[in-house]
Amino acid sequence: MLYQIHEWQRAFLGPLSHFADASAQMLNDANNPFATWPGTQRLAAGYELIHRLGKDYEKPTFGIHQVEAHGHEIAVIERVALDTPFCQLKRFKRFSDDPATIETMKTDPVVLVVAPLSGHHATLLRDTVRTLLREHKVYVTDWVDARMVPAEAGPFGLDDYVALIERFIRHIGAESLHVISVCQPTVPVLAAVSLMAARGETTPLSLTMMGGPIDPRRSPTSVNNLATTQPLSWFKGNVIHTVPPNYPGRGREVYPGFLQHAGFIAMNPGRHLQSHWDFYENLLRGDLDDAESHRKFYDEYNAVLDLPAEFYLDTIAAVFQQFLLPRGLWDVRGERVNPAAITRSALLTVEGELDDISGLGQTQAAHDLCSSIPAKRRAHRVIDGAGHYGIFSGRRWREIVYPQVREFIRRFDRAEK
Q: Are 396 and 390 in contact (CB under 8 A)?
A: yes
**Confidence check: pLDDT of 407 > 90:** yes
pLDDT above 90 covers a percentage of the chain that reads 68
Distance CA 216, CA 71 (A): 42
Q: Are 270 and 221 in contact (CB under 8 A)?
A: no
Q: What would the mean pLDDT of 267-282 be, rounded to a whole number? A: 87
pLDDT one-digit tens code per residue, 149-176: 999 999 999 999 999 999 999 999 999 9
Architecture of the 66-234+306-416 domain: 3-Layer(aba) Sandwich (3.40)
Q: What is the pLDDT of residue 417?
A: 45
**Helices 2-28 and 40-54, interaxial angle, to 10°?**
150
Q: Which whole number is the average pLDDT over 87-109?
A: 94
Top mean pLDDT of 28-37, 45-54, 80-89, 406-415 is at: 80-89
Could you give phi then psi for residue 147, rounded to 5 degrees?
-70, -15
Chain-centre distance for alpha carbon 29: 37
DSSP letters of 116-184?
A: --SSB-GGGGHHHHHHHTTTSEEEEEEEPPGGGS-GGG----HHHHHHHHHHHHHHH-GGGEEEEEEST
Mean pLDDT (the chain, rounded)? 92
Which pTM value belongs to this model? 0.91
pLDDT value at position 335?
97
In the predicted structure, residue 6 carries a pLDDT above the cut 80 = no
Please state the rounded mean pLDDT for residues 95-115: 94
Mean pLDDT of 36-60: 85
Give the pLDDT band (50/70/90) at residue 40: confident
Q: Is the pLDDT score of 35 beyond 80? A: no
Mean pLDDT of 335-349: 98
Residue 410 to residue 414: CA distance in whole angstroms: 6
Q: What is the pLDDT of residue 415?
A: 54
Average pLDDT of the segment spanning 33-58: 84
Query: Does the pLDDT at position 416 exceed 60?
Result: no
Q: What is the pLDDT of residues 195-226, one digit of tens each?
A: 999 999 999 999 999 999 999 999 998 888 88
Place 27 in a pLDDT band, splitting at 50, 70 and 90: confident
3-state secondary structure of 111: strand
pLDDT cut 70: percent of the chain above it: 99
- For residue 342, give the 3-state DSSP assignment: coil
Q: Tell me, what's the pLDDT at 350? A: 98
Among 140-154, 219-233, 251-265, which range has the highest average pLDDT?
Answer: 140-154
The more confidently predicted of residues 287 and 384 is: 384
